[in-house]
Amino acid sequence: MHNAKSNSTPRIASGSILLMKNPTTWIAMLTLAFAAPSFAAPEVVSVWPSGKMPGNGAKEAEKEAPSKGDGVVRLTNVSEPTMTVYPAPSAQKPAPAVIICPGGGYQILAINKEGSAIAAWLNTQGITGIVLKYRVPQNREGALQDLQRAVRLARSKHKDWNIDATRIGVMGFSAGGHLCARLVTNHGTAFYPPIDDADKLPDRPDFAVLVYPAYLDRQNHLAADLPVSANIPATFIVHSDDDKSFIAGSKFFAEALTKAKVEHEFALYPTGGHGYGLHSKGEAKAWPGRCEQWLERMKVRAK
């Protein structure tokens, strides 16, 4: 394993942006450090070259939303999307990677609970976790551009990050799950004009994990912006029946995947609610272990 100290400063890639005064960065680092103190320090990379981001950013400066006393860091007003790369430990060969999209209703990002903590868990499975800080609030199209670019950028940097360019997946929570579902059902669509050589690379993730995804249904049907086809990558869906606001969408999506004969698994639990990350108090608490088994069957996670 790498022997980086837990207080190591993140490496900053050329052209990337890191606000050292932003406590979110340090909280994310500490989350990983306490979970696995011998893991390598994360690297923070800008999604877009300076001055090249399509669309719009937030009208106000990036900040943390007021604390609710639950330890969750809620980031908002994101105008400078970044990818924070948490390398898989002791990778003797290129590791699989997962781009993680935190949830927050497209208003905020639960950047530690559904971001850096997820990366730490994936690291224990020999998988590089890449936390995407995408544009919020109220910027669904900007967020989709950010994710599409992130997949391509990860492929372009696969040698630098020691990741397997053929095993790059996406994982999203709540609104982040919807964001991932949009990309896997619409990959190949140009959501922004090409900027550089990275944009010549495929934007199709190799697999997807959707954890209590939101907004998948409209008017008692699968949402029209999710055109399911046989070309969708293998998908793992997590949800619970007592998440009354969003469970219908996951059921519609799973049914559509079955009809299209897409490789998938629907981990449906009677209880769990919504927004629990890795630690549900209901029966959905079993989902991380079941997901690990699925990743192993998909040859993503090592045995």
Contacts of 174 (CB under 8 A, 6+ apart): 103, 104, 105, 114, 211, 212, 213, 214, 246, 274, 275
Looking at per-residue pLDDT, the higher value among 37 and 231 belongs to 231
Judge whether residue 140 has pLDDT over 80: yes
Distances (CA, A) of 221 to 140, 166, 175: 20, 33, 18
Contacts of 146 (CB under 8 A, 6+ apart): 47, 81, 132, 134, 135
Q: What is the pLDDT of residue 302?
A: 67
Confidence of residue 92 (pLDDT cuts 50, 70, 90): confident
Question: Which tens digits make up the pLDDT trace of 279-294?
Answer: 999 999 999 999 999 9
Using CA atoms, how far apart are residues 27 and 234, in angstroms rounded to an integer? 32
Distances (CA, A) of 167 to 151, 162, 205, 256, 275: 11, 12, 8, 24, 27
What integer is the mean pLDDT of 191-198? 97
Confidence of residue 90 (pLDDT cuts 50, 70, 90): confident
Q: What is the pLDDT of residue 301?
A: 81
Kindly report the pTM of this predicted structure: 0.88
Q: Say if residue 166 is exposed, middle or buried (CB neighbours under 10 Å; 0-12, 13-18, 19+).
A: exposed
Question: Which tens digits make up the pLDDT trace of 255-285?
Answer: 999 999 999 999 999 999 999 999 999 999 9
In degrees, rounded to 5, the angle at the alpha carbon of residue 290 between the alpha carbons of residues 289 and 291 is: 90
Strand 217-218 with 221-222, pairing = antiparallel
In the chain, the domains with their CATH numbers are 11-297 (3.40.50.1820)
Looking at per-residue pLDDT, the higher value among 274 and 1 belongs to 274
What integer is the mean pLDDT of 163-182? 98
1-10, 136-145, 264-273: the lowest-pLDDT one: 1-10
60-74, 85-99, 219-233, 235-249: the lowest-pLDDT one: 85-99
Distances (CA, A) of 102 to 1, 115, 147, 190: 27, 5, 12, 23
Confidence of residue 303 (pLDDT cuts 50, 70, 90): low
Given a contact cutoff of 8 angstroms between Cβ atoms, the answer to whether 96 and 115 are in contact is no
Q: What is the pLDDT of residue 192?
A: 98
Given a contact cutoff of 8 angstroms between Cβ atoms, the answer to whether 234 and 262 are in contact is yes
Given a contact cutoff of 8 angstroms between Cβ atoms, the answer to whether 97 and 130 are in contact is yes
Q: What is the pLDDT of residue 17?
A: 33
User: Could you give the count of Cα atoms lying within 13 Å of 16 in the half-sphere of its Cβ?
Assistant: 19
Helices and strands: H and E segment counts in the chain? 6, 14
Judge whether residue 204 has pLDDT over 60: yes
The CA-to-CA distance between both ends of the chain, in Å, stands at: 18
Residues in the chain: 303
Q: How far is CA 288 from the centre of its chain?
A: 15
In the predicted model, what is the mean pLDDT of the chain?
A: 89
Of all residues in the chain, what percent carry a pLDDT higher than 90?
Answer: 84
Q: To 10 degrees, what angle do helices 23-35 and 117-124 make?
A: 30
Using CA atoms, how far apart are residues 234 and 88, in angstroms rounded to an integer? 22
Confidence of residue 41 (pLDDT cuts 50, 70, 90): confident
b/e burial code for range 23-39 (CB count within 10 A of at least 16 → b): ebbebbbebbbebbeeb
Q: Say if residue 102 is exposed, middle or buried (CB neighbours under 10 Å; 0-12, 13-18, 19+).
A: buried
3-state secondary structure (DSSP) of residue 152: helix
